[in-house]
Amino acid sequence: MAEYSALQVIRNALGGNEHWKPLWRKPDPKPAYNVIIVGGGGHGLATAYYLASEHGIANVAVLEKGWLGSGNIGRNTTIVRSNYLLPENAAFYEHSMKMWETLSHELNYNVMFSQRGIINLFHTPAQEDEAARRGNAMLLNGVDARFVRPEELGKRMPALDLAGSSRLPVLGGLEQPRAGTARHDAVAWGYARAADRRGVDIIENCEVTGFIRDGTRVTGVNTTRGDIYARKIGVAVAGSTSRVLAMAGIDALPIESHVLQAFVTESVKPCLDCVVTYGGGHLYISQSDKGGLVFGGDIDGYNSYAQRGNLPIVEDVMSEVVELFPAFAKLRLLRSWGGVMDMSMDGSPIITAGPLPGMYLNAGWCYGGFKATPASGFCFAHTIATDEPHPLNAAFSLDRFYRGYVLDEKGQGATPWKH
């Protein structure tokens, strides 16, 4: 099997690039598998890969209703970080960060993980204390963190307006230097290729339309390409979680679907070397390798499955961009889009066995599940393979809400659109 390398690129180029093989096969579904993963997003594909690579379970199918990576993996703002406050989240996301650091090698696919740092700006003394609280939590949890003072910020981001036009000067920032961005689509493709190579069937254009039940136990799925049986069925469908579980008779979950928009400008030469977030609102910016400035802000704030947003958020986000970077006012918005997010009631994820026998659930990623992809796949595979949560996802249970063990990073309570 041709492995990817610089040498191969040159060899193939000499052959007119005629000999490259498909990244994944296009198999027809088999009647039955050991494990079915519903959802060909980052998490579903990673889960399939780790089932095969960590647990030797290769008789696995990933069922994707559209084209692979058409969900949130294909539309996120690509930020990878582990700067969490709560220890449960910190441990999980830091594990993910470590996996990211070797992911391209592991997959033999360059996912372009660029550890250019993320800086959360703060603007008031109270915010500075909060930043210190978080930064100290990170260091005590073994995560890298440092304070960045305005002088350094000015040097690293010459276009940044430290004074702020309206009463919120930049007092400093909390940086996680190891954080950064990755090429979102490549993560899906890289996992798909690696899983395929280990025997996993990746089946596109195969929508799950129902569950086959034996009593309460889930034993298979109805799909647009026929019924498929499996001993275990993992659901990793992000924004579609409620819709899919409703097919199994679960009519309510601690999840709401909300749309988050993202934006990219026309490309320009490198002008922003790290990821930055604004503390005077809700905004994060980075620059893609192609040169576009990529922004995100608040979710639109109402239940939606529409994958597109509305104008007020567009205005808010652009207002914040030019507040921080008044030099960018003349740059131009090229494209905006939306994704449907699985907002959980405390803003933290769910990776668990259940809620029905034979079923496993991976959901509740809000707007932060891209960075989780490796650890999520790893833990979900563990949970499916062993029927026990991995210590890293033990806290991400479904019953934590009812028991009062919520993991509420933002302290917003059960108002999912505020997380």
Partner 1 sequence: MIIPCPFCGPRDLAEFTYHGDAARAAARPAHGSTDQEAWDRHVYDRRNPAGSHAEIWQHAGGCRSHLRVVRDTRTHEITETTLYAPEVSQ
Partner 2 sequence: MSGYRRPSGGKVIERGKSITFTFDGKQYFGLAGDTLASALIAGGVSVVGRSFKYHRPRGIVAAGVDEPNALVTVLGDGAREPNIRATEIEIHDGLVCESQNRFPSLDFDMRALNQLGGDALAAGFYYKTFMGPARWPFGGTRTWMAFERQIRRAAGLGRAGTESDTSRYDRVNAHCDTLVVGGGKPGIVQALEAARKRRRVIVCEIDPTLGGYASWSGDPDISAMITQLQAMDNVQILTRTTAWGIYDGNAVAALERVSDHRRDRAPGEARQRMWIIRAGHVALATGAFERPLVFPGNDRPGVMLASAAQRYAAMYGVLPGKRIAIVTNNDSAYTSAIALKARDANVITIIDLRSEVSGGARSIASVAGARLRTGQAVVATAGTGGLDSIQVAPFDHRTRRPTGRSEGISCDCLLMSGGWSPAIHLASHAGGAPRWDDTLKAFLAPEDGRDLSLHGAAAGDFVFGAGLSPAPAPVYEVRAPGKAFVDFQHDVTADDVRLAHREGFHSVEHVKRYTTLGMATDQGKTSSLPGQAILADALGRPLEQVGTTRFRPPFTPVSLGSIAAERFGDLHPERITPIHDWHVKNGARMVAAGHWQRPECYNRWKESVEQAYIREAKTVRRGVGIVDVSTLGKIDIQGPDAAAFLDRVYTNGFARLPVGKSRYGLMLREDGFVFDDGTTWRLAPDRYLMTTTTANAGPVMQHLEYYLNVIWPDIRVHLTSVTDQWAAMAVAGPHSRDVLAAIVIDTDVDNLTLPPMGIVHGRIAEVPVMICRLSFSGERAYEVYCGAHHGAHVWNALIAAGEPWGILPYGLEALGALRIEKGHVTGAEIDGRTTARDLNLDWMLSTKKPFIGSAMMDRLGLVPITRQALVGVVSINGEKFHGGSHIVESANPKKPGPSLGHVTAMCYSPVHDRYIGLALVSSGRARLGARLYATDPVRSASHVPVEIVRHVMVDPSGDRMHG
Ligand X SMILES: Cc1cc2nc3c(=O)[nH]c(=O)nc-3n(C[C@H](O)[C@H](O)[C@H](O)COP(=O)(O)OP(=O)(O)OC[C@H]3O[C@@H](n4cnc5c(N)ncnc54)[C@H](O)[C@@H]3O)c2cc1C
Ligand Y SMILES: Cc1cc2nc3c(=O)[nH]c(=O)nc-3n(C[C@H](O)[C@H](O)[C@H](O)COP(=O)(O)O)c2cc1C
Binding site for ligand X (CB under 6 A): 38-44, 63-66, 70-73, 75-79, 207-208, 236-240, 244, 260, 262, 296, 339, 341, 365, 367-371
Tell me which stretch binds partner 1 (CB under 8 A): 56-64, 75-83, 198-206, 411-419: 411-419
Q: Least CB distance from residue 208 to partner 1, whole Å?
A: 14
Site for partner 1 in 302-361 (CB under 8 A): 302-306, 310-312, 345
Q: Is 288 in the site for ligand Y (CB under 6 A)?
A: yes
Write the single-letter amino acid at 171: L
Q: CB nearer to partner 2: give 227 or 408.
A: 408
Q: CB nearer to partner 1: give 117 or 416.
A: 416
Q: Is 371 in the site for ligand Y (CB under 6 A)?
A: no
Q: What is the DSSP string of 164-228?
A: -SSS----EEEEETT-EE--HHHHHHHHHHHHHHTT-EEE-S--EEEEEEETTEEEEEEETTEEE
Alpha-carbon separation of residue 101 from 145, 258, 275 (angstroms): 17, 30, 17
| Cα gap 33→219, rounded to integer Å | 10
Q: Is 242 in the site for partner 1 (CB under 8 A)?
A: yes
Q: Could you tell which of ligand Y, ligand X, partner 1, none binds residue 334, using a CB distance below 5 to 8 A set by kind?
A: ligand Y
Q: Could you tell which of ligand X, ligand Y, partner 1, none binds residue 274, using a CB distance below 5 to 8 A set by kind?
A: none
Q: Least CB distance from residue 370 to ligand X, whole Å?
A: 3
Give me the residue label for tokens 């496993």.
360
Please answer whether residues 171 and 125 qualify as being in contact, where contact means their C-beta atoms are separated by less than 8 angstroms: yes
Q: Least CB distance from residue 160 to ligand Y, whole Å?
A: 21
- Cis status of the peptide bond prior to 355, with omega within 30 of 0: yes
Q: CB nearer to ligand Y: give 76 or 344.
A: 76
Q: CB nearer to ligand X: give 168 or 363.
A: 363
* Side-chain-side CA neighbours of residue 380 (13 Å): 34
Q: Could you tell which of partner 2, partner 1, ligand Y, none binds residue 294, using a CB distance below 5 to 8 A set by kind?
A: ligand Y
DSSP designation for 359: E
Q: CB nearer to ligand X: give 171 or 176.
A: 176
CA angle centred on 380, ends 80 and 363, rounded to 5° = 70
Strand-pairing partners, residue 120, are 174, 277
| Cα gap 72→105, rounded to integer Å | 24
Tell me which stretch binds partner 1 (CB under 8 A): 70-78, 155-163, 179-187, 300-308: 300-308
Q: Is 256 in the site for partner 1 (CB under 8 A)?
A: yes
Question: What is the SS3 assignment for 157?
Answer: coil
Tell me which stretch binds ligand Y (CB under 6 A): 68-76, 121-129, 153-161, 231-239: 68-76
Q: CB nearer to ligand X: give 168 or 317.
A: 317
Residues 6+ apart with CB under 8 A from 215: none
| Cα gap 116→143, rounded to integer Å | 15
Q: Least CB distance from residue 282 to ligand Y, whole Å?
A: 18
| Cα gap 16→20, rounded to integer Å | 10
Q: CB nearer to partner 1: give 32 or 314.
A: 314
Neighbours of 209 (CB within 10 A): 13
Q: CB nearer to partner 1: give 147 or 417.
A: 417
| Cα gap 216→64, rounded to integer Å | 24
> Which residues of this protein are in contact with ligand Y, per CB under 6 A?
74-78, 184, 262, 264, 288, 290, 292, 294, 307, 334-335, 337
